[in-house]
Each structure stands twice: as C-alpha cells, then as structure tokens.
Amino acid sequence: MPATPGNHQYNSSYRGAYSRKTAKTSSATVERGEWVAQAKCRNGDPDALFVRGAEQRKAALICRHCPVVLECCADALDNEVEFGVWGGLTERQRRAILRKNPHVTDWASYLSNGGEF
C-alpha cells in the first residue's frame, strides 16, 4: 500500500514515507534520528500533522516553540516532502519556497547560514 496520510504504522521514522525523493545522504540525514527525538510533535497524534486545507495552519502551531523546527523544515525541503506540516510549514508553503529557491541544494546549511525564504 502506498504511503499516504492516515495509513502509516507509527514509529520514530514514519514521516519519512511522505517524501517525493529518497532521503539525501548528508550529515543532516545521518543526524535525523537525533533531532526527531527532540521534536515537540514526537509524542502527539501523528495524524494531527497530516490534515487538509485550513487545518494545516492550525497544525503548524504545534511547531511554534519546537526546539528543532529548523532541522525539520530543512529535512522536508531537502527531500521535497509532499504531505503534512513540517517545520511549521504547510504543503503549499513548502512548494512555493522550493519554486522560489531552485538554487538551494542543502536547506540545512542554507538556513543555518541565515538564508531566507
């Protein structure tokens, strides 16, 4: 069965199934397990982040005070994740950012060096 919101088995890496691309092999990917364990959403209902329409903005509020929002956002952008709220960004917001910034190949480095959307 293809990975779509609502049909996953919950585990610490379930969100990786919603990517268009295979995860990049980089230091950010290698350290993914470390930041995922610190995510504010890690103990919540995973389906709460995979909602449609206006509910996505409400779901993004979960990310507001997350200590790893930058890492989550960079991971979603690097891997062109299609579904859900990641790093405080909705699906539509991530698509717009990727279209506006086709030159960025490593979002973790770009954002940590002060890069802007």
pLDDT in tens, 57-87: 899 999 999 999 999 999 999 999 999 999 9
Residue range of the domain that includes 87: 40-112
Q: Which two tokens stand for residue 71?
A: 């890492």
In the chain, the percentage of residues whose pLDDT exceeds 90 is 62
Q: How high is the pLDDT of residue 83?
A: 94
Tell me whether residue 57 is in a domain: yes
Tell me whether residue 56 is in a domain: yes
Helices marked H in the chain — which ranges? 27-30, 32-36, 55-60, 69-78, 91-100, 107-112
Low-confidence ranges of the chain (pLDDT < 70): 1-31
Tell me whether residue 35 is in a domain: no
Tell me whether residue 8 is in a domain: no
Q: How high is the pLDDT of residue 37?
A: 92
Q: How high is the pLDDT of residue 53?
A: 87
Number of structural domains in the chain: 1
